[in-house]
Amino acid sequence: MQTQMQELVGRLTTLDPEASETLKVVVYFDTLIAAGAGLDSLLRGAAALSGVVAGAERRGRVSRRGPDGQSPQAEPLTRGPERPCSVGAVWLERVGPRHADDEMIVERLAFALDLLEARHNPVGELEIAIDPTRTLAERTTALARLRLEPGSRIRIVATRSDAPSAPSSVVVPTRYGLMRAQLRRRDEQPSATPAGLGPWVRADHAPDSWEGAAIALRLTEPAVPVVDATDLGALLMLARAHDPRAPHDDVMALARLDARTAQVLQALVGAESIRAAAAALGMHHSTLQARHEALTRELGYDPRTAAGKVRYGAAEFLLRLTDIRGVERPTPRTS
């Protein structure tokens, strides 16, 4: 590629002497863009054209190339001229007076990098592919641009929005807040934790995998930093029907309990008898019996019956998917 750069520079010098230096720079970069040049090639081209080191910062990662096509080992003495672009910035490392065409070289380098990003960055297509509000035709078109057949086997992984950027990932809003979605085509460990793994699906069912991944991420905790939505079984259906902005009364009833009362309720549900629960809590049997009766009135059901245990379990599960701070709480009932 370096030889091609030098040949291109040579051809440009044979242009009509009356052609401006600006035109030569434009033709040079247009030729590189038409050839499908990548970042390294663009930097090598800018360096060959300017005779000094050219650099780019792309999503926090710095790349530099000298006129010889190599990556300089020494730290840059200067960044100038410099121009921002969609993913960072580009610059020349000119020491001393700037040349007349330096500004145009940097401008066309930034433009070329923006085109490269638009051409190869799948972020926008992934956002379309996982959006359930898009039509099947729109999602299929996006999948094609991601080089995926509708029947391809994929899964979507959800991580926090502030997780490091990863290939084929995009930050999107969800009903649980902002999350980063990442496309996976093979089974591998998440690039960051905590992480929620969506179920494996056909690519044209990507929104289903994304919804499962978002739910799974909400269920992670320090002891379990990765949750696979497939492991939720029928609970995944329950979670899909849950609106975290308008939770069920059973969920709000648990949210109103203080920590000690929540502990007492958990013991009542899990123990074989009230006497066993009292022993585990270090409470007198009659005291816990009274607490049990009060909780039954507060919850609106007996948490020790078979049906009551199911209601409690479902409400406790959905509470983990709910940010109570964003929900208007009803006034607690008095016992």
Instruction: Measure the CA–CA gap between 134 and 120, rounded to whole angstroms.
Output: 22
pLDDT at residue 168 in the model = 78
By three-state DSSP, how is residue 178 classified? strand
Q: Are 102 and 89 in contact (CB under 8 A)?
A: no
pLDDT at residue 318 in the model = 94
What are the pLDDT digits (tens) for 27-46?
888 877 776 677 888 888 88
In this structure, the dihedral spanned by the alpha carbons of residues 323, 326, 327 and 330, taken in order and rounded to 10 degrees, is 110
Residue 6 predicted with pLDDT over 50: no
Domain boundaries along the sequence of the chain: 2-120, 123-232, 249-326
Level-2 CATH architecture, domain 249-326: Orthogonal Bundle (1.10)
What are the pLDDT digits (tens) for 62-93?
889 888 878 888 887 788 889 988 778 899 99
Nearest partner of 148 among 183, 191, 181, judged by Cα:
183
Confidence bin at 327 (pLDDT 50/70/90): low
Overall average pLDDT of the 197-209 stretch: 97
Instruction: Measure the CA–CA gap between 263 and 261, rounded to whole angstroms.
Output: 5
Structure tokens at 162: 């502030």
pLDDT at residue 2 in the model = 43
Q: Which of 15-29, 216-230, 263-277 shows the lowest per-residue confidence on average (mean pLDDT)? A: 15-29
Residue 16 predicted with pLDDT over 70: no
Question: What are the angstrom distances between the C-alpha of 87 and each of 45, 92, 128, 145, 209?
Answer: 19, 17, 20, 20, 28
Instruction: Name the strand (E) or helix (H) holding 10.
Output: helix 2-12
Instruction: Measure the CA–CA gap between 156 and 183, rounded to whole angstroms.
Output: 5
Contacts of 257 (CB under 8 A, 6+ apart): 265
Q: Are 278 and 287 in contact (CB under 8 A)?
A: yes
Residue 20 predicted with pLDDT over 70: no
